[in-house]
Amino acid sequence: MSNLSHDKAMEAGEIARLLSYFIILIASVGLFFAASEIPTSRFETLGAGAFPQIVCAAIGLLSIVAIVDSLRKISYLGYGRFYTEVKAWMCRRYLVFITLGALALYILVIPIIGFSIASMIFIFSVQVILMPRNTKSIVIALITALVFSFGLNWLFSEVFTVFLPRGVF
């Protein structure tokens, strides 16, 4: 391996680490604020969320230090290629982002339209996006979506007596 390609590979690895440090920082900040919502009892002076907040703050602080160190290691030329490499990486994995977006939308609409309808739409949509589209596969996707949405709702309510979210409608 030539010295130039070795440097480029090292730089790409450092860029990947930088992205992971940002994700860890965002997660630790979110969990820090979520820990403040933990209910406290009258026997706790600091509160139930104090220890998780300390841990999340430490992880966030370490992430900031790692981000600064990572930025220091990436050469000036690496910043110019960063955008194009990330864009190319995202384009190669566009189906993953579509599926994650559909999952986020599914989670948001369950309380509004209910488990059965939201699950049917989510399962059918993701199957149609990910599979080859012909009449047979679309019929199979529709049957699968119906069974795993309304069928699971029936199973949980009738067999386990656990009621899944019905939604506003």
**What is the per-residue pLDDT across 26-58, written as a single tens digit (0 to 9) for each?**
999 999 999 888 887 777 777 778 889 999 999
pLDDT tens per residue across span 100-128 = 999 999 999 999 999 999 999 999 999 99
* Phi/psi at 136 (5° precision): -65, -45
List helix spans (H) across the chain: 3-35, 50-73, 76-92, 94-113, 115-130, 135-146, 152-154
Write down the pLDDT at residue 16: 81
- Which residues contact residue 158 at a Cβ distance below 8 angstroms, ignoring those fewer than 6 apart? none
Give residue 76's pLDDT band: very low, low, confident or very high (50, 70, 90).
low
- The C-alpha atoms of residue 151 and residue 154 are separated, in whole angstroms, by 5
pLDDT tens per residue across span 51-62 = 899 999 999 999
At residue 3, does pLDDT exceed 80?
A: no
